[in-house]
Structure formats: structure tokens, C-alpha cells
Amino acid sequence: MTTDHSQPGPFKSAGEDLYRRACEVITGGVSRNTVFRRPHPFYAASAKGCYVTDIDGVQRLDFANNMASLIHGHAHPAIVEAVTEQLQRGTAYTMATEAEFSFASLLCQRVPGFEKVRFVNSGTEAVMTMIKAARAYTGRPKIAKSEGAYHGTYDYAEVSQTSRPDQWGDIHQPRSVALAHGTPQGVLDDVVVFPFNDVEKTLAILDQHADQLSCVIIDPVPHRVGLVPASDAFIEALYRWTRENGSLLVFDEVVTLRVAYGGAQARYPYRPDMTALGKIIGGGFPVGALAGRTEVMKVLDPRESKVLFPHSGTFSANPITTTAGRVAMELFDLEAVERLNALTRKAMDQIEEAIRLADVPISLTGAGSMFRVHLRATPPQTYREAFQPKEVVALINEILDYLYLNEQIMMINTCACMFSTPMTQKEVDILTQAMLNAFRHIKPKLDKVQDQIPA
């Protein structure tokens, strides 16, 4: 959130002073723009379960969970105990560890399509590794991705993730739009963009590049596109197209592994060739992983006479992360997944009732243990429908500020909630009342921006 907010009265918070000093040594005072806000960020002091306390002593209910990465909330006792024990034995070595093997075994047992695993240190790195592995396997340069989908900060993966109406071109031929200034034209030329969930248009676009595409990358429930699940027909069409044209179908489940016990891919009968993982599999520590078919993953195998993709990383598969991740995923068993998904569904039902009570044109989308709020009466189905002009973004930020400052509720800056296992009906009721209050607060302004909402 980047909206202006001044502290009431003459009181200056500890966060204000800390931010002033941070700006002297950190660019912009923060190392990730997602926590930046004006006039200064808030600084965490401690956290436990689903609550975070800042350095001014204010406790907030956390539905952001470090951008969807904390499936068990903060400082889960079993994870803390396991990591503390490992800390005393060392944090990283120039050696392999049993912790790496144990965690990889767990992931392969959990998801049928995971035959082999490689660990890295972030979701961005996992996607990058997956794309490079696809190129190494196929010998082809291009990738295809959905318009608006977020896949991390790799040059190729971030193309068209924030396309605007004045940039995105015709829906039958979406343009490849750079995110970062200075992105080489060669990067844009090697990324084919298609409309999510539109089988006919997507296949027509893919056909134009059939002999050059190494992979088609899909987030099965893309957050930026609107947090709408990929349809069965869309996944089937992409699976069959990649089989027929010598390309790979790869999934980005960095966020969506939480959706079901076997990840979002469990709802489809077609297994991707590779899957990028991150967030919840780290147990609260930096993590990424690539999992997939043995034949494809072989491009990374150092035992091959010619290694097509030499791959390493100083902290990849470090025993702290793999220990924390293994314990976290053991705890997130089938019963825990189903309980958390049911609780999230209950929250969505209650918030939809709050929408009716407030009489506001708002809708929800989501899957599993996550959902997103849209300032439109009907849920968006595409990125272009989910796109928010600046007037709507300003109102979203006002809702988030209201919840953060008046209701002590933390959410992701797209107005999304990511649930964690410590949450109960108590937290759902707190959230519901807070959302009702926020809807009533912004109702007069919301009515005025309806003509800015994409049809």
C-alpha cells in the first residue's frame, strides 16, 4: 500500500524514526516494495500464530502471512523446535544433507507428478530454473504465458504482468509488455502472451510459434489475473497442444500448492511436465523448488555425460529451510488442508453476506485457503476484467488502510486474504465485521467509480 497516512496528533511513532534512519542505508528504506507505504512502513516486533505486533505495540490479525508463505502462521512450536535443533548442528555446508533427501521424499510422495525435485531459494528462482530447464530440454528459445500472470522477477517471467489498456493490444494478439525499464527487446520477442482461460484465442496464438516454444507456463489460480481457477477445458487444451507440438506444460504453484493436498494441479487429470514451488514449502524460510518428470529433470543431472543445464546455488537445500519445510508440510496434512479450506469458504460466505448488508457492488474470487475482493458486482474472469484503473486502486488502498489502521487487519495489497492454520471461527468473525465496516466506509466513493470498472 502506498497511500498517504499521517499519525494523529503530535505523536511520532518508533516506526517513523526507524524509517528515517533506514533511508540512509537502504534504497527507499525497504528491501521489498510490497512493504512500503507513506509516510513510512510499519515495523514488526514479534509474531505468534495469526497475530503480529509492531514496534509501537499494536497487534494485528494477519491475513497476509508474508505474501501467502506462512501456512501455519508465525512461530509454530514444532517448526521452531526442529529448526532450533538443526541450528545447533549448523546452517549450511558444502555437503549434501539428509534433510534435503527427507524433504524431497515427502514432496514426491505427496504429489503424483513429482518424480524428481531440485531445491532453490525463492519462487522467482524456481520459475527461472524451470524455464531454463525447459529450454535445455527442448532446445527452443521461447516461452508462452498468460497476460497479467505474476511469475516472479525473472525478465522473461515478468513480461505483461502489469499491462495497461494503452499497452496490451488486441485480445487476439496481446502484446509482450516490459515491466522493468531497460528490459531488452530480445526478451520481449521470446515471450508469447495469451489470454487466460480462452481456449480458442490461446491455441491460435500458440500455433503461430509452435516450433519455437519451449514451454507454456500456467499458474492454475493466477492472483494478478483475478484469482480465478483455470478451467478444465483450458488445461486440457494446453496439455494436448504441448504433447502435439513438442513443448512442455509447466505450472507455477509457488502460491497455489496450498489450494489442495496435492496442489491446484490435483483437480486436473493432466500432470504438468514440471512445477515451480515456493512460499509454504519453506516453513517460514526462503525457499523454492522445481519438481517434475525424471526425463525432463535429467537436464540438471551431474551424472550425465553432457549436462545440458549445469545448476547450483550456495544456499539451495540448506538444512534449516529443508527441515522447516518438511515439518510444515507434514503438519499441513489432508485433514489440515480440508479444515482450512472449509474455514476459508465460511469466511467467503460471511463476507458475501456483508456485501449484501452494505449494499455495495463487490464480489469475491478464490480457491482453497485464499480469496480476493473485487470492486465490481460480478467476479472478473480475465485479466482485462480484473484490471484496476488508478481510481479503483486508490479505493482499494483506502479499504486496506482502513482495515489496517482502524480494524487492525493485515491483508495482501490486492485486497486478498491468505488463511493460516492457527485461524478459527473467531478470526473469521473479526474479519467479517471489519470488512462490513470497511464496505460501509467506502460505499459513497465506490458508487462514483463504477464507470471506471472494466466491463
The catalytic site residues sit at: 150, 252, 279
Q: Which residues contact 311 (CB under 8 A, 6 or more apart)?
A: 118, 129, 300
Give the integer Cα–Cα distance in Å for 216 and 239.
9
Q: Terminal CA-to-CA distance of the chain, rounded, Å?
A: 25
- Grid coordinates belonging to 312: 547450483
- Grid coordinates belonging to 365: 474470487
Q: What are phi and psi of 294, to 5 degrees?
A: -55, -45
Residue 356's Cβ-count burial label (10 Å; 0-12, 13-18, 19+) is exposed
Strands 142-146 and 213-218: parallel
- Grid coordinates belonging to 442: 467506502
* Residue appearing with cell numbers 502489469: 162
What's the chain's Rg over C-alpha atoms?
22
How many CB atoms neighbour CB 53 within 10 A?
14
Q: What are phi and psi of 92, to 5 degrees?
A: -165, 145
Give the integer Cα–Cα distance in Å for 349 and 366.
12
Sheet holding 248-252, edge to edge: 116-120, 288-292, 274-278, 248-252, 213-218, 142-146, 191-194
Contact 274, 292 (CB under 8 A): yes
Q: Which residues contact 22 (CB under 8 A, 6 or more apart)?
A: 29, 30
What's the distance, CA 164 to chain centroid? Answer: 21
DSSP state letters, 241-266 = HHHHTT-EEEEE-TTGGGGSTT-GGG
